Structure 1
Amino acid sequence: MAETATTSSCWRAPLNLHHHGRWIPTFITTHKTLLAALWIAFFFTVFLWQQRSDAAAGFLVFRRAFSSGAFPKLRPVAFNLTDFGGVGDGITMNTAAFERAVMAISKLRKKGGGQLNVPPGYWLTAPFNLTSHMTLFLAEGAEILGINDEKYWPLLPPLPSYGYGREHPGPRYGSLIHGQNLKDVVITGHNGTINGQGQTWWKKYRQKLLNHTRGPLVQIMYSSDIFVSNITLRDSPFWTFHPYDCKNVTVKNVTILAPIFEAPNTDGIDPDSCVDMVIEDCYISVGDDAIAIKSGWDQYGIAYGRPSKNILIRNLVVRSMVSAGISIGSEMSGGVSNVTVENLFVWNSRRAVRIKTAPGRGGYVRHITYQNVTFENVRVGIVIKTDYNEHPDGGFDPKAVPSLHDINYISIHGEGVRVPVRIHGSEEIPVREVTFRDMSVGIVNKKKHVFQCAFVEGRVIGTVFPAPCENLDLYDEQGHLIRRSTSQNVSDIDYDI
C-alpha cells in the first residue's frame, strides 16, 4: 500500500502493488549457466517477434515507444482532498484546498511525487494548477465543478503560435485545471467527472458579453509524459482537453460530453504542436470537433514552427453535429504529419473526417492514414477543404500556402451518407497523393456528384463505391493500372448536395 500522509483520512483509492519474492536474486547468482540460456532464449524470442512485427506493421513510426495500455507509475504517498479542508457539498469553494494539496505533492517530487484523491461529492473550485509527478484521482461519484463566474478565472497571454486569444485579441482565460513545464502527470479515477459548467460561458459568448477568449477545461502546456484515463470531462467553457507543445501524451478510456448544439467551440481533444500522442478507447460527443489536431495559426504558427506529429487515434466512437468527428486544422501552420486514425465510428454527425486549411496558413499536412472507418447517418463523410479563410489578423501572408500530400483512406464503410467524399483542392493548394482502397458507403442521395473532387491527384485501388471522380487513377487489387486520369483539375464540387 502507498504510505499515507495523514491518519485522518477515511477514504482511500485502491493502489495495487505487486511484491516479488526475494528468492530470485539468490537463485540467479547460483545458476549462471541457466541464466545465460534464458537470456539467449529471450533475445531470440524478441528477434522473432520483431521480424513478424516488421512484416505486419504498415506504419513504422508507431512500432516504437507508444505506451498504449501502459499503466502510469503508482505514487508512494496518497492524500485526500479533505485532508486540506475540502468540502464536497457543491457550494463551498475548494480552490485553497486544491492549492494546498498540490503544494504538498510538489515537495515530494524527488521521492516519486504523490496522489491526490478526490472522494465522492461535488467539489466547487476556481482554476488551479497541477505539479510534476502528480496523480489526480477522481473516485466514482466525485465531480470537480468549475465556478462559472469569469472574475475567478486568471488571464494568460495569447499562445505564442496564435498571437491572438483565438476569439478576442489580447489575453485569454486560463483553464480550470492547468499545468506548465511539467513532467509525469496523471489524471485518472473510477470515472469521476470534471465539469466545467460551461452553460453560462456559452450564453455570454453568444451574447458577445465576454472581452476575452474562454478558457479550456484542462490545458497542459510545454510538458511531457501526460496520462489521462478513466474519467469523464463535460461541459467545458471552450476546448475540453488542450495539450499544447507537449510530448508523450496518452488519453485512454475517457468520455467527453457537451451539448451537440448551443455549446460553441467545445472541441473534445485538441492536440496542438504535440509529438508522440495516443488517443484510444474513448467516447466523444460535443458541440464542435470531437478531435482537432492543430499546430498554430498563420504567421504566428509559422514562426513558432512546432509541428504535431506521430499521433495515433484508434477505437473511438464520436459524434459532432456542428463540425467533424476528426479534424486536422484549420490552425496547422506548424505542420501536421504521421497521423493514423483507425477503428473509428462516426454517427449522426455533420462531417466524419476533415482536413481544413487556407492560403496564409503555410505548413503541411502529410503522411495521414484513415483505416477501418465507419460512418452512420453523416452528411459528408470525407472532407478536404482549402479555403477555410479565418485569420487572426491582417498580418498573414496570402502567398504562404500549405502543402497537402500522402493522405490515405483504407477500409471506409457506412450508410446513410449524403456526400461520401468532398475533396476541394484549388489551383494554389492542390491535394496530391491521395489513395482510396476498399470503400463502400451507402448514400441517401442519388444525384450524380456524390464523390466530389477539385484539383486532386491520386489513385483508387480495387472496388470503391460510389464511383470515384475522374480526377483519380484507377488500379485493380493487384496494383495494375486500369485507367489514367485525364486531368486532376476537374471540379465537380456541389455544395447544394
Structure 2
Amino acid sequence: MMLQKVFLLGLIQWAFIVSCARTANGVPETCAGIVPMKRRQHTMSIRRFGAIGDGRTLNTQAFQAAISTIRKLDNIGGTLLYIPTGIWLTGSFNLTSHMTLYLAKNAVIKASQDTGAWPVINPLPSYGRGRERPGGRYISFIHGDGLEDVVITGENGTIDGQGEVWWNMWRDGSLKYTRGNLVEIMNSRDVIISNVVLLNSPFWNIHPVYCSNVVIRRVTILAPADSPNTDGIDPDSSSNVCIEDSYVNNGDDVVAIKSGWDEYGIAYGRPSSNIIVRRVTGITSGFSGIAIGSETSGGIRDILIQHVNILNSGTGIRLKTNVGRGGIITNITISDIYMENVGTAIKFTGNTGDHPDERYNHLAVPVVRNIAVNNVVGRGIGSVGSMEGIKGSPFQNICLSNIMLQGAGQELTWKCEEVVGSSFGTITPPPCPQLESQMSSFCHSSYLRYH
C-alpha cells in the first residue's frame, strides 16, 4: 500500500508539471471532451444489491444483479453504479451500455482468486486462438462486448486483479487457457476509463479491442516487475483512441498498439488508427515503454506519441513485426521523449514475435514506412539501438531528428539493415549511412511540425 501511495503522489506531481504542455499543429492538448463524460440520470449503490465490502464476502451475484438492473432501466440518461469505500470481493462481471462504474475514494474492487469461477470465452477472431494457449481464453475481470457509452471512473479507487495466482499458473505450466485481462472492452464505442488505479492484473491491464472513440486518462497501473505479460494499455484493432496523463509501472510493455495476429489478423482486416498517446510516464524493467506490435496484421496507421517519459526500462521505443504478419505500419510520429536508465533506446525489427500456428502465410510480408522519431533525450542508455527491416521489404522513410543519447560509459553506435531513411538536426551518436538519404516529403513535414 505504501508503494502504491508513493506512485500516486509521483503521478500527481508529474501531471502538474506537464499540464502546460501543448501539442503541435492544433491538436487539442487534452482528450477531455472527445468522449463527453455524461451526468447520469440514475444512481445506485452496490450495497442496494446486498454487497458487503469487508474483503471476505464474495459479491459476484450483487455485481451481476446490479448490472442486470441497469440494463433493464430506461437508459436515456444512463445509470451510475456507485462503489463505496471498502473492499468488494467479486468474480468477473460484464458491463452494459449507458453506465458509469464509479469507485469512491479508497474503494477496491478485488478479483476472486478462484480461477475455476472465471468463464472461458471464444478467442478473438483476429487472433484465432488464445494469445498464450490454443483454444479459448479466460474472460477478463471487468468485461464488456458490443456496448455504447461506458465509463469506468471515480476518485482513484482501485481495481485489484490479484494476479499472482495466474502468474504462478503461467510459470509452472498449469495454465489451461490464456489468462484474462483486467479490463477488456470489445466491439464498443464511446468508452472512458479515468481516475482509477489498476493493480496486479492477471494479464494485460486495459485492452480496448475492435472499439472506436476511446479515452483513457489519469490512470495508474501497477504490477511487480516480474509479473508476466502485464502490459499497461493495449489498443487493438481500434480507432480514435486517446491515452494521456497516466503512470504505468508493470511487468511488460507500458503501451503496446496491436491489430491482430498473422493470418487471423489479415483476414479480420481491422487496423488500429488515429491513436494519440501523450504525457505518459512508464517503468518496465525488461520491456518497452512504447511498442508498436508485434501483432500488426490488420495494419497500424496515423499514430501520434509525444511527451512520454520512459524510466528504468528494457527498451524505450520499439517497433516489432515479422514475416507472416502482413499489414501496413505507416504514418507514425513519436516526439518529445525522455529516457533514463534504459537498456536499448530505439529498436525497430522485422524478425520478432511468434506465430499462432504453422498455417501463417510466409509471403505475407509487412510494409513499414513513414515513421518519424523527433526530439529524444536519453541518459544512462545501454545501447542506442537498431533499425533492422526485412529483406525484400525494407523499412522506408524512417526519419530521425534531434536525438541525443548518452551512454553509461561505453561507445554507442547504431545498427542498420534493410532500412532507408533520413536524419537531420543533431543526432548523437551519429546515425548509420542508411539513414542519411535525401529527405522525403514525409520526413520534411514531420521535421517542420515538431521544430
Q: Does 2:276 correspond to 1:312?
A: yes
2:429 alignment partner, one of 466, 472, 475: 466
**In 2, are the aligned partners of 1:94 and 1:124 still within 8 Å (CA)?**
yes
Q: Relative to structure 1, is the Cα distance of residues 439 and 233 closer, same or farther in structure 2, using a 3 angstrom cutoff? A: same
2:239 is matched with 275
Give the unaligned 5+ runs of structure 1.
Answer: 1-55, 482-497
Give the unaligned 5+ runs of structure 2.
Answer: 1-21, 445-451
1:107 is matched with 72
2:289 is matched with 325
Q: Relative to structure 1, is the Cα distance of residues 275 and 114 closer, same or farther in structure 2, using a 3 angstrom cutoff? A: same
1:372 alignment partner, one of 307, 321, 336: 336
2:447 is matched with none
2:129 is matched with 164
2:48 alignment partner, one of 72, 83, 102: 83
Q: Which moved more, 1:65-74 or 1:416-425?
A: 65-74
Could you tell me the TM-score, scaled by structure 2's length?
0.90
Query: What is the identity, as a one-letter code, of the residue corresponding to 1:213?
Result: T
Query: What is the identity, as a one-letter code, of the residue corresponding to 2:335?
Result: Q
1:132 is matched with 97
1:241 is matched with 206
| 1:296-348 deviation per Cα after TM superposition (whole angstroms, max 9, x unaligned) | 00000000000000000000100111210111111110000001110000000
| 1:441-486 deviation per Cα after TM superposition (whole angstroms, max 9, x unaligned) | 1112433x5222111111111211111111122689xx999xxxxx
Query: What is the identity, as a one-letter code, of the residue corresponding to 1:177?
Result: I
1:143 alignment partner, one of 105, 108, 116: 108
**In 2, are the aligned partners of 1:341 and 1:369 still within 8 Å (CA)?**
yes
Query: What is the identity, as a one-letter code, of the residue corresponding to 1:123?
Result: W
RMSD: 2.1
Q: Deviating runs (4+, > 3 A) in structure 1?
A: 56-60, 62-71
What pairs with 1:392-411 in structure 2 (closer than 5 Å)? 392-411=356-375
**Distance in 1, Cα, partners of 2:88 & 2:434:** 57
| 1:196-255 deviation per Cα after TM superposition (whole angstroms, max 9, x unaligned) | 000011011100011111100111000000000000001011111111100000001000
**Distance in 2, Cα, partners of 1:224 & 1:118:** 24
**In 2, are the aligned partners of 1:418 and 1:450 still within 8 Å (CA)?**
no
2:145 is matched with 180
Query: What is the identity, as a one-letter code, of the residue corresponding to 1:453?
Result: C
- SS of 1:429 mapped into structure 2: coil
**Distance in 1, Cα, partners of 2:358 & 2:248:** 35
Q: Relative to structure 1, is the Cα distance of residues 246 and 69 closer, same or farther in structure 2, using a 3 angstrom cutoff? A: closer
Q: Which moved more, 1:187-196 or 1:94-103?
A: 94-103
Query: What is the identity, as a one-letter code, of the residue corresponding to 1:457?
Result: V
2:377 alignment partner, one of 402, 408, 413: 413
Give aligned pairs, total.
421
Q: Relative to structure 1, is the Cα distance of residues 65 and 419 closer, same or farther in structure 2, using a 3 angstrom cutoff? A: closer
**Distance in 1, Cα, partners of 2:233 & 2:148:** 20
Q: Relative to structure 1, is the Cα distance of residues 480 and 169 closer, same or farther in structure 2, using a 3 angstrom cutoff? A: closer
**In 2, are the aligned partners of 1:192 and 1:231 still within 8 Å (CA)?**
yes
**Distance in 2, Cα, partners of 1:145 & 1:231:** 13
**Distance in 2, Cα, partners of 1:148 & 1:173:** 13
1:302 is matched with 266
- SS of 2:436 mapped into structure 1: strand
2:61 alignment partner, one of 85, 96, 115: 96
1:293 alignment partner, one of 234, 257, 262: 257
Q: Does 2:208 correspond to 1:250?
A: no
Q: Relative to structure 1, is the Cα distance of residues 369 and 436 closer, same or farther in structure 2, using a 3 angstrom cutoff? A: same
Q: Which moved more, 1:208-217 or 1:435-444?
A: 435-444
**Distance in 1, Cα, partners of 2:36 & 2:73:** 21
- SS of 1:74 mapped into structure 2: coil
Q: CA deviation at 1:69?
A: 7.2
Query: What is the identity, as a one-letter code, of the residue corresponding to 1:105?
Result: I
Q: Relative to structure 1, is the Cα distance of residues 215 and 70 closer, same or farther in structure 2, using a 3 angstrom cutoff? A: closer
Q: Relative to structure 1, is the Cα distance of residues 289 and 64 closer, same or farther in structure 2, using a 3 angstrom cutoff? A: closer
**In 1, are the aligned partners of 2:290 and 2:317 still within 8 Å (CA)?**
yes
**In 1, are the aligned partners of 2:399 and 2:443 still within 8 Å (CA)?**
no
Which has the greater radius of gyration? 1
Query: What is the identity, as a one-letter code, of the residue corresponding to 2:274?
Result: N
**In 1, are the aligned partners of 2:159 and 2:198 still within 8 Å (CA)?**
yes
1:353 is matched with 317
**Distance in 2, Cα, partners of 1:341 & 1:410:** 10
1:218 alignment partner, one of 171, 183, 188: 183
**In 2, are the aligned partners of 1:432 and 1:457 still within 8 Å (CA)?**
yes
**Distance in 2, Cα, partners of 1:204 & 1:70:** 38
**Percent identical residues:** 43
2:420 alignment partner, one of 422, 438, 457: 457
Query: What is the identity, as a one-letter code, of the residue corresponding to 1:311?
Result: I
Query: What is the identity, as a one-letter code, of the residue corresponding to 2:116?
Result: K
Q: CA deviation at 1:389?
A: 4.0
**In 2, are the aligned partners of 1:109 and 1:133 still within 8 Å (CA)?**
no
Give the number of the structure with larger relative contact order, counting CA–CA contacts within 8 Å between residues 6 or more apart.
2
Q: Does 2:397 correspond to 1:433?
A: yes
| 1:22-52 deviation per Cα after TM superposition (whole angstroms, max 9, x unaligned) | xxxxxxxxxxxxxxxxxxxxxxxxxxxxxxx
**Distance in 2, Cα, partners of 1:57 & 1:140:** 32
**Distance in 2, Cα, partners of 1:111 & 1:80:** 19
- SS of 1:124 mapped into structure 2: strand
- SS of 2:433 mapped into structure 1: coil
**Distance in 1, Cα, partners of 2:215 & 2:147:** 15
Q: CA deviation at 1:428?
A: 3.0
2:16 is matched with none
